[in-house]
Amino acid sequence: MTVFLQKNTKIILLALLALVLAIRIPSLASRSLWYDEAFSILFSRTGPKAMLQGTLGIVDGTAADVHPLLYYTLLWAWMLLVGQKVVVVRFLSVLIHLALLTLLWYLMQEMFGLKQAVLAGILFSFAPFQVHYGQEARMYGLLSLWLVFATLSVWRGIQGGRHLLPWVAFGIFAALAMYTHVLAVFYLIPLWLSPLYFRKVRLFRPALLSALIAIVLYLPWGLQLPAQVAKVERAYWITKPTLVDLVQTVLSFISGLPIHASWLPVTLFCALLVIVLAGVITFRAVRDGDPGAERAIWLIYLSAAPVLLLFLVSQIRPLFVVRGLVPSGVIFLLWIAWVIAPREGRRVESFLMIGCLAIAFSIGLFSRVTYRGFPYAPFENVNDFITSELEEGGVVLHSNKITMLPSYYYDELLPHTYIADPPGAGSDTLALPTQEVLGLIAQPEAIHAVGDARQVFFVMFERELGDYDALGAIKHPHLSWLEEHYRLIEQTAWDDLSLYRFESRENVSID
């Protein structure tokens, strides 16, 4: 087997790259854009200068937005070449995943060997968590790429003694990761401490050099961090995580989320069995003096430490979002690939784990393809329906930005307008400078958005009604205002999205 792999290394790598394409490309158009993806496109197409203003513009002493601009700038350049259609925009993430798979291939070869590299490539190709973010028009695939580059650099630095080049590369890739997403720091800190794990204290001097390089390169953006931190402190939607979030993170690494409720028990069982068996096999490897065990535990450390560090910090200032841990999910797969590689006398455990992973992956991939809930909706079909029913002077009113941006992306000619999030609320993330750059200014109340329109199509996710119920509100305030001043003609459901068609009441003022 090993001889075959060595003779066909390039062919196997090409086959794995083809597998990534085969799994990700067919479903690029399987669901509509959601808010974050629509924002990525609409914001990126404004260009670097406008994006700087839309991100760093100050509102009440805080930055307009919290995300760095490296991914958005790359997407801007990509769209100049290929356009703004959903499939071609998402294909950028597929290309990033091809580069990421190639990088994982070389990392695993250097750490363990060809068999483990092949298994890592297969797991990465099929893992639902990775498939999802290998298709979405967001920055998480790019974040994983930089952080795996950084991991490879540290590995080579640890193996190469006092050679400085890997540590210089680490500093550069660390800065690129920070320019992609600020949560990169929760991976970079444990990675930077890796010489301590390998008991090579002498390497802290080159490690300090890498930290200095990263800080200097990141300094132009880092000077803006206080205003961005203030933005998070003032209002952000993330809540304090609990132990349930840790369980969901592990489940995401294995099967992805959400999972259809009927399959959740099976998925949880498979995930638990994978973790237990992987732990047992790793423990036995350490006990038996397996030369790869120390490296495998390093992978456990790199997949678990960022999660726990982010969890602990989030007890003070909630920042915990599972998608920010996609790079840790990649490293988790590398550990699992090492574990399931067949060993003498332990093939039963390996095959049992492979079976559990196959079940969990299948459930996760199917759930992803068939999921039609929040925040996804058939925005393009809803726009088509509105167009067929819209009368002259009619207005399409969105309860907030979550439906506004995707709907606007699919049809900019419709008279879309939307209501601003309550100031200071956790949902108040689209600041005025960003709205101005987008050319989409929110209205404070329904009456300002509607004006004297005689027909109103009101769009919102049905879950908003439950959100207002939880706050003790008797009714959704904007929907209530429309029902008071207009006559409800029709309500239709589009998966989790509700569309209300109102017409004006005769001889009733809406002042």
Write the CATH number for 427.
Answer: 3.40.50
470 and 354 inside one domain: no
- Whether this prediction's pTM lies above 0.75 is answered by yes
Distances in Å between the Cα of 423 and the Cα atoms of 19, 43, 63, 400, 430 are 47, 22, 15, 13, 10
Q: Are residues 447 and 358 in the same domain?
A: no
Residue-level pLDDT at 507? 40
Residue at 56 is within a domain: no
Residues 109, 212: one domain?
Answer: yes
Within a domain: 37: no
Same domain? 349 vs 386: no
314 and 177 within one domain: yes
Q: Is 482 exposed, middle or buried (0-12, 13-18, 19+ CB in 10 A)?
A: buried
Give a yes or no: residue 198 inside a domain: yes
Name the band, by pLDDT with cuts 50, 70 and 90, for residue 508: very low
Measured distance CA(346)–CA(430) in Å, rounded: 54
Q: Are 422 and 461 within one domain?
A: yes
Asked if residue 509 is part of any domain, the answer here is no
Q: Are residues 337 and 414 in the same domain?
A: no
> Which domain-ending residue is among 342, 370, 398?
370
Q: What is the pLDDT of residues 199-228, one digit of tens each?
A: 998 898 999 999 999 999 999 998 888 877
Burial (0-12, 13-18, 19+ Cβ within 10 Å), 225: middle
What does the pLDDT look like over 110-131, one tens digit per residue?
Answer: 999 999 999 999 999 999 999 9
Strand, coil or helix: 59: strand
Identify the CA nearest to 378 among candidates 29, 31, 27: 31
Contact status, residue 146 vs residue 176, Cβ threshold 8 Å: yes
User: What is the rounded average pLDDT of the residues 139-154?
Assistant: 98
Spell out a b/e string for 374-400, using b for 16 or more CB atoms within 10 Å of the CB, else e.
bbbbbbbebbebbeeebeeebbbbbbb
| Domain final residue pick, 319, 345, 370 | 370
- Residue-level pLDDT at 472: 59
Range of the domain at 315: 2-30+66-370
Helix (H) or strand (E) holding 81: helix 70-82
In a domain, 511, yes or no: no
| Pair (333, 400) in one structural domain | no
Residue 163's SS3 state is coil
- The burial class, CB within 10 Å (0-12 / 13-18 / 19+), for 10 is exposed
**Nearest 10 degrees: CA dihedral of 378, 383, 385, 386?**
140
52 lies in some domain? no
CB 416 within 8 A of CB 422: no
Question: Do 324 and 210 fall into the same domain?
Answer: yes
Say if residue 168 is in the same domain as residue 299. yes
* Domain termination site, one of 348, 370, 392: 370
Highest mean pLDDT among 23-37, 95-109, 278-292, 368-382: 95-109
In 116-268, DSSP assigns E strands to none
Say how many domains are in the chain. 2
Q: What is the mean pLDDT of residues 484-508?
A: 89
Q: Which is it for strands 497-504 and 486-494: parallel, antiparallel or unpaired?
A: antiparallel
Residues 215 and 349 in one domain: yes
Q: Please provide the distance, in angstroms rounded to a whole number, between the alpha carbons at the two ends of the chain.
A: 79
Q: Is residue 49 in a domain?
A: no
- Arithmetic mean of pLDDT over the chain: 92
Whether 51 is in a domain gets the answer: no
Task: Scan for tokens 């003498």, then name that residue.
Answer: 344
pLDDT tens digit sequence for 348-361: 888 999 999 999 99
Residues 365 and 391 grouped into a single domain: no
